[in-house]
Chains A and B, each alone.
Chain A
Amino acid sequence: MPASLRELRQRRNSVTTTKKITRAMELIAASRIIKAQQRATAAAPYARELTRAVSAVATYSEVDHPLTTERENPQRAAMVLITSDRGLAGAYSSSVIKQGEGLAERLRGDGLDVAPYLVGRKAAAFYGFRKREVAGAWDGFSDSPTYAHAREIADTLIEAFNAPAEEGGVDEIHIVYTRFVSMLTQRPEVIRLLPLEVVESGGDESQGHEVYPLYEFEPDPATVLDELLPLYVASRIQYCLLQSAASELASRQRAMKSATDNAEQLIERLTREANQARQAEITQEISEIVGGAAALADASESE
């Protein structure tokens, strides 16, 4: 026997404990996904109304807003990575980081400097370990982002976007987040946040080709747009954060489910081996006793 009975039992016990932990994490993640999805649904009306309003202003006024115009000679691009704070979520964070690396390479290929903004401790750890420079970082809310977090990120990004390039300003902002397609599929995606492409933004809604009424703008279209666009940017970021949070939880649930399944298999195997070892021990004892008795009988006969 390769391992002693005691050793096998010890290993089985420790795997059982691990299984309990992974199972608990799986259940917690599963219950939180529902909440995360509800939050995403609750935020939808705001995003929808805001998109309508922004599209209406953009359609009926020829306003060139700094947030919607392409810079003529872009020099720096911001890249926002949305990752998780904690691990044990399968490839969730690493696929976002990988996608980000690809994006950074592409941007550099276009002759742009890349300024990374990181959300979540995993991205910060990745950049910290490689001693790379980071333009901004937030953490502590990856699995339950609120609107205030989105607003904070939006304010920082808009400020960077409005600053001239010499003072650390950026000309483009890209976001890498994970889209929650279904419980089984979450896909890392890149979107360009700024400059905004407002007219197309209604495209993912079914009512994309709605005709907007001829609005009167108070006080005037430019001011309205000034007010609306920062809100719109924050709402887009919130959308990304909420999608990412749901994806993180789904990844974690799946990762923990397979960990639990693995642990179950391992427990089964160890139980079999332990039973075998126990049986072998008993068989050996019996044969020793039988052998010993036979030897005693032989000895007393020959006397």
Chain B
Amino acid sequence: MAEPGSSVLHVEVVAADHSVWSGDVTSITARTTEGDIGILPGHSPVLAVLVPSGVEIVEQGGGRQVVAVDGGFISVAQNRVSILSEYAAMSSEIDAGRARSELEELLGRVGADEDDPELQAAIARARARVKAAERAR
């Protein structure tokens, strides 16, 4: 359902308490629960659940952006893309070193209670941030 002649995607990245990033892009690669999904202009409408990971965005001018998401979802319709994630963050705003030490600290705590779902979620989140920060380089 591509609009004829239009070859850009308008993306909005939204976290729960603020809008993180928005702009015109040429392609998006995101990891959903079903596997990686690539989105180019003219993609058919889709609503997919994301896993904690880094979503890669190629800007119109060729610049690359990586967004760290902790789950949430992506919706595509008529060349409008929204990426919603409770704690979405641009990788450029993430300090890779600090993200890594945070992850290590969390992993160190696992020994005490392994099945704490909150801790597991925090680890997944931290891992996604580290990955995103590394991918951005």
What is A's interface to B at a CB cutoff of 8 Å?
Answer: 39, 42-43, 45-46, 49-50, 52-53, 56-57, 146-147, 150-151, 212-219, 223-224, 227-228, 231, 234-235, 238
Contact = CB atoms under 8 A, between A and B. Distances in A.
Contacts of B87: 147
Contact of A49 (B1, B14, B37, B49): B14
B45 interface: yes
Nearest to B18: A42
9 contacts: A46-B84, A53-B82, A53-B84, A56-B75, A212-B77, A215-B77, A216-B45, A218-B47, A227-B73
B14 A227 contact: no
Interface string B29-61: 000111001000000111111000000000000
A43 B86 CA distance: 11
Contacts of A151: 16, 86
Contacts, number: 88
A174 B33 CA distance: 33
Interface in B73-131: 73, 75, 77-78, 82, 84, 86-87
Contact of A227 (B12, B34, B71, B82): B71
Nearest to A57: B47
Nearest to A216: B46
A216 B47 contact: yes
A39 B17 CA distance: 7
A213 B1 contact: yes
B45 A218 contact: no
Nearest to A42: B18
Contacts of A231: 72, 84, 86
A53 B76 CA distance: 10
Contacts of A223: 33, 49
Contacts of B15: 46, 147
A219 B47 contact: no
Nearest to B83: A49
Nearest to A39: B17
